[in-house]
């Protein structure tokens, strides 16, 4: 048996996913969010390389940690997104141990890791809401949860969780009612348990500031010119050229536009109908994934391969972004919201889930064009730890482009993250879907002191083929989230609102009206 502090998110994420079925009340996304938002405060206990215990913690200022609250609002809806690097208390918001190995002091060892972290960071102590699972069975013997706690303290009643926490040096502060309604055995009640760090000067105010470190990532966005090609190989040579150039500049990422593979229709012997064209493009999916993944490994760069229409197992066509990482892995992110044009002309269906993708530069998110106009999706990605969101887009007019651009800038501000846009330019006379294109690809930032004056790290010239490259500092995001002029993520009112995501796979999308949209048979128009 040994404990392991989570230091490498990539190496532990697969382990977390394997053990998910044994962990109650969580989705994989929430677990990833906890690890991504505060990796130093997440611990796992390993037994023969299998995870048998897990706990999550975050730093909070004393006024927040000790105020009345419930589990949802204090934990940021389970993602640990309220973590404040300048907080003076460690708040524990999850602890679970595999029932098969209880009794071998795994919980005690996880608590020891928490205490060691609090001492290492010179925090005032640890606080959390502790369960009282025997409350329901003893409800008739007591006069409410406070009386139950008093009787447990007096030794008149036994509660295994409370006794365990008391034995580990925690003291009860007060009772929280309706702390976690899902905890039926405790009837939603919890006890605020506190451990005070004996090495901290409790009467001295915390004097902590998050250092402005450097965590540089180089990002390239390709504004791609639509061109007629003779065959698939010529198309891939054009893509490889930009991958090669971005690699020469030692970029960590390159992103291509939405539907960038429409050029493959230019060498068809006849102009296809929209539905025929999409089905034809889908036939290239296996070759495209294999070749882009090969580029990523050979040129040592992470590639967000725009998006490409793909036929799913059930016969539906989805608009899918393939993310090929330089470690050889290939990830997929479907477009959640097809535009009216995509639905009407191409019969494209929307995907069912959006999650961060783990890379060697940290977790990232991908939102295809129209998806960037739905703020709930970006907020979910930010809660899961994404600090860069890539937005491949395809817009035919300036109005369509500006819808994507303005929304992407808003997403960067409200989620305190970077947003990278990549669009198509030019036209293909024999491809109805590429009649006209408008784009000005860019790399957008939050609007605060560490960033560019106008919130633009870099942008391309309008409607010309080019590669735009910029260095971005992820550490600036951490600083802004903790000490910025505004702190959009930390200042959310979890007591008033939250986002609930349906993780079931039984979605039935409501049918949309089959009215012909305005404009050409274009990819979407933002």
List the catalytic residues.
258, 335, 369
**How many whole angstroms separate alpha carbon 165 and alpha carbon 150?**
15
Which tokens go with 432? 């109805």
Could you tell me if 441 and 220 are in contact, meaning their C-beta atoms sit under 8 angstroms apart? no
| CA distances from residue 150 to 127, 132, 187, 325 in whole angstroms, order as listed | 19, 12, 17, 56
Question: Residue 290 contacts by C-beta under 8 Å, 6 or more apart in sequence?
Answer: none
Could you tell me if 127 and 114 are in contact, meaning their C-beta atoms sit under 8 angstroms apart? no
Could you tell me if 407 and 425 are in contact, meaning their C-beta atoms sit under 8 angstroms apart? no
Question: Residue 273 contacts by C-beta under 8 Å, 6 or more apart in sequence?
Answer: none
Secondary structure (H, E, C), 227-267 = CCCCCHHHHHHHHHHHHHHHHHCCCCEEECCCCHHHHHHCC
Please give the backbone phi and psi of residue 327, each rounded to the nearest 5 degrees, phi first. Answer: -90, 5
**How many whole angstroms separate alpha carbon 296 and alpha carbon 423?**
20
Residue 64: helix, strand or coil by DSSP?
A: helix
Question: Residue 422 contacts by C-beta under 8 Å, 6 or more apart in sequence?
Answer: 221, 222, 223, 224, 255, 256, 257, 304, 306, 390, 391, 392, 393, 441
Residue 176: helix, strand or coil by DSSP?
A: strand
Alpha carbon 63 to chain centroid distance? Answer: 28
- Token pair 């990482």 in the structure block, residue: 325
Question: Residue 170 contacts by C-beta under 8 Å, 6 or more apart in sequence?
Answer: 126, 130, 193, 194, 195
Could you tell me if 126 and 118 are in contact, meaning their C-beta atoms sit under 8 angstroms apart? yes
Secondary structure (H, E, C), 454-470 = CCEEEECCCCCCEEEEE
């Amino acid at each position: 048996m040994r404990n392991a502090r989570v230091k490498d998110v990539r190496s532990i994420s697969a382990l977390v996913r394997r053990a998910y079925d044994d962990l109650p009340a969580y989705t994989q996304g929430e677990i990833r969010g906890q690890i991504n938002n505060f990796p130093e405060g997440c611990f796992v206990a390993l037994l023969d390389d299998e995870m048998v215990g897990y706990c999550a913690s975050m730093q909070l200022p004393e006024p927040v940690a000790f105020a009345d609250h419930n589990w949802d609002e204090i934990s940021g809806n389970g993602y640990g997104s309220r973590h404040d690097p300048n907080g003076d208390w460690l708040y524990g918001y999850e602890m679970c141990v595999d029932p098969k190995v209880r009794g071998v002091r795994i919980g005690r060892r996880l608590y020891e890791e928490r205490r060691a972290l609090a001492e290492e960071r010179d925090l005032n102590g640890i606080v959390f809401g502790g369960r009282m699972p025997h409350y329901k069975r003893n409800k008739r013997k007591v006069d409410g949860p406070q009386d139950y706690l008093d009787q447990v303290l007096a030794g008149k009643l036994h509660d295994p969780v409370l006794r365990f926490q008391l034995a580990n040096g925690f003291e009860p502060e007060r009772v929280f009612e309706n702390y976690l309604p899902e905890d039926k055995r405790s009837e939603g009640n919890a006890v605020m348990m506190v451990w005070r760090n004996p090495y901290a000067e409790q009467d001295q105010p915390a004097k902590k500031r998050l250092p402005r470190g450097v965590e540089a990532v180089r990002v390239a966005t390709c504004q791609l010119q639509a061109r007629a090609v003779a065959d698939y190989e010529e198309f891939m040579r054009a893509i490889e050229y930009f991958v090669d150039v971005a690699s020469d500049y030692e970029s960590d990422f390159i992103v291509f536009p939405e539907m960038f593979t429409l050029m493959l229709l230019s060498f068809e012997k006849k102009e296809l109908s929209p539905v025929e064209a999409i089905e034809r493009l889908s036939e290239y999916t296996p070759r495209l994934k294999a070749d882009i993944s090969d580029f990523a490994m050979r040129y040592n760069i992470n590639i967000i391969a725009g998006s490409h229409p793909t036929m799913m197992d059930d016969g539906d066509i989805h608009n899918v972004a393939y993310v090929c990482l330089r470690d050889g892995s290939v990830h997929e992110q479907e477009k959640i919201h097809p535009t009216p044009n995509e639905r009407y002309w191409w019969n494209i269906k929307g995907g069912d889930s959006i999650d961060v993708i783990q890379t060697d530069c940290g977790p990232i998110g991908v939102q295809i064009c129209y998806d960037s106009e739905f703020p709930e999706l970006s907020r979910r990605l930010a809660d899961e730890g994404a600090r860069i969101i890539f937005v491949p887009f395809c817009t035919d007019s300036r109005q369509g482009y500006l819808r994507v651009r303005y929304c992407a800038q808003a997403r960067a501000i409200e989620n305190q993250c970077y947003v990278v846009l990549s669009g198509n330019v030019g036209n293909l006379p024999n491809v109805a879907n590429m009649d006209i294109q408008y784009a000005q690809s860019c790399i957008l930032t939050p609007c605060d002191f560490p960033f560019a004056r106008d919130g633009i790290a870099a942008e391309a010239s309008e409607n010309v083929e080019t590669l735009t490259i910029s260095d971005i500092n992820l550490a600036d995001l951490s600083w802004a989230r903790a000490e910025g002029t505004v702190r959009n993520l930390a200042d959310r009112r979890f007591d008033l609102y939250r986002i609930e995501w349906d993780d079931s796979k039984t979605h039935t999308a409501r049918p949309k009206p089959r009215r012909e949209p305005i404009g050409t048979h274009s990819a979407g128009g933002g």
